[in-house]
Amino acid sequence: MRVDQLEKTEYRDILLYKIEENGHGDYPFFIQKVTVDHEEGSLHRHDYFQIYYVAKGRLKHYINGKTFGLTKGDLFVIPPYIPHKTFSFDNDNERCEALEIEFKPEFINQSFANDADLELFMDFMYIEPFMVNEHQVRPRLRLSGSVEMDVEKIVYDFLHEFEERKPGFELIIKSAILRLLAILGREAASDYGPADSYSHQDKHKESILRIIQYIEEHYTEKIYLHDIVKRSFMCHSYFCSAFKQVTKKSFARYLNELRVSRAKEFLCKTDLKIVEICSKTGFNNVTHFNRIFKQITTMSPMQFKETYTHKTPKSKIV
């Protein structure tokens, strides 16, 4: 397969973004943090690969004539020349934030030019799962647990390296992209299903997404499963099943990971004490907080703070 085989004549009139238009210098890669607004974006294409990671909130992804919902921790990989667009859900109070990673195929291997047969090169194994036409592109890949944490760390390390641009950062970024693609390729293979499976998961999809929004707005408060079930207007067993279908996590796991994610921000970006962070993230019990934090991150809050604080400038979080 060649890159230029993905460019179809019928798409020539659709807006095409080129990586050099980002104004970041003559690099074959780019990363930026973006806020997704309510206005429906224009259908567009890229002349590069794009990995789009939802860091906060939720959004919609339109591709191949269908719209798919994504929430925090979800992502998609778009190969060159495939038309798509993103926009946020209507009436969402919380803004949606995402990280866009972009790279030219030749950054992986200089021989990956438009007229090269990529399958002849060993490095093709990294991008092969995503080198597909618009009918085969996975519109959403759901991550959970340690995989989501690994991917998020790689993405933010990429952002840090790109912003700092210290000597050797290009090699570190290439290594990060290869590791990211390897992880995502493995996840895509283990979670393969019909491209439109999300739209048929269950008729209560929107109700679950509203519950997710409620959790993200009230995670600092006491939240009990039986109260959430009542709010969803479903029976207990059906809610638990539907929630796990949409998030790939149990209700308790989702809530704990959200709280731990927020706690990590406080640990890295503030000088708040552990007991204060515990209170601000809805745990209210330091022993329970420490246990759940270590269960999810494999380290204690203090170990995490000592490990990552030097990488992140202090800021005020409310």
* Per-residue pLDDT of the chain in tens (318 residues, 90 and over written 9): 556 667 788 888 999 999 888 877 789 999 999 988 766 678 999 999 999 999 988 888 999 888 888 888 899 999 899 999 998 876 666 778 999 999 988 887 655 554 444 443 334 455 666 766 777 788 888 887 788 889 999 999 999 999 999 999 999 999 999 999 888 888 877 654 444 444 434 356 767 888 888 998 899 999 999 999 888 877 888 888 888 888 888 999 999 999 999 999 899 888 899 999 999 999 988 999 999 999 999 999 999 988 876 555 554 454
**Measured between alpha carbons, how far is 221 from 244 in angstroms, rounded to an integer?**
22
| Domain identity same for 194 and 208 | no
Helices (H) and strands (E) in the chain, counts: 11, 9
Q: Do 208 and 138 fall within a single domain?
A: no
Helix, strand, or coil (residue 53): strand
Residues 171 and 105 in one domain: yes
Instruction: Tell me whether strands 44-46 and 15-17 are parallel, antiparallel or unpaired.
Output: parallel
Q: Which of 198, 228, 256 is the last residue of a domain?
A: 198
Say whether pTM exceeds 0.75. Answer: no
46 falls within a domain: yes
pLDDT of residue 247: 84
Query: Are 41 and 153 part of one and the same domain?
Result: yes
Same domain assignment for residues 170 and 208:
no
Got the DSSP string for 124-187? Answer: HHHHGGG---TTT--S-B---HHHHHHHHHHHHHHHHHHHH--TTHHHHHHHHHHHHHHHHHHH
Q: Are 158 and 101 in contact (CB under 8 A)?
A: yes
* Residues 194 and 228 placed together within one structural domain of the fold: no
* Domain, as residue range, for 236: 202-311
- Residues 193, 73, 75, 146, CA torsion sign: negative
> Do 273 and 185 fall within a single domain?
no
Within-domain flag for 284: yes
Same domain, yes or no, for 194 and 206? Answer: no
Instruction: Based on the fold, state whether residues 169 and 209 are members of the same structural domain.
Output: no
- Residue where a domain terminates, one of 198, 219, 250: 198
Residues 40 and 150 grouped into a single domain: yes
Residues 27 and 154 in one domain: yes
Chain centre to alpha carbon of residue 158: 13
Residue 317 located in a structural domain = no
| CATH number (domain holding residue 217) | 1.10.10.60
Dist. CA 175–CA 103, nearest whole Å: 13
Query: Which CATH number do you get for residue 88?
Result: 2.60.120.280
- Residue 164 inside a domain? The answer is yes
Q: What is the pLDDT of residue 120?
A: 39
Number of Cβ within 10 Å of residue 165's Cβ equals 13
> Tell me, what's the pLDDT at 87?
86
Checking phi first, is residue 117 left (phi over 0); if not, alpha (psi -120 to 50) or beta? beta
What is the count of structural domains for the chain? Answer: 2
> What pLDDT, on the 0 to 100 scale, is given for residue 100?
95
70 occurs within a structural domain: yes
Q: Answer with the one of 141, 173, 198 that is the final residue of a domain.
A: 198
Q: What is the pLDDT of residue 232?
A: 83
47 located within any domain: yes
Helix residue ranges per DSSP H, the chain: 105-108, 124-127, 145-164, 169-190, 205-218, 225-232, 236-247, 251-269, 274-280, 286-297, 301-308
Give the dihedral of Cα atoms 57, 63, 65, 71; nearest 10 deg.
-20
Residue tagged 């641009």 (tokens): 165
Decide if 318 is inside a domain: no
**Same domain, yes or no: 159 and 207:** no
Q: Does residue 291 lie within any of the structural domains? A: yes
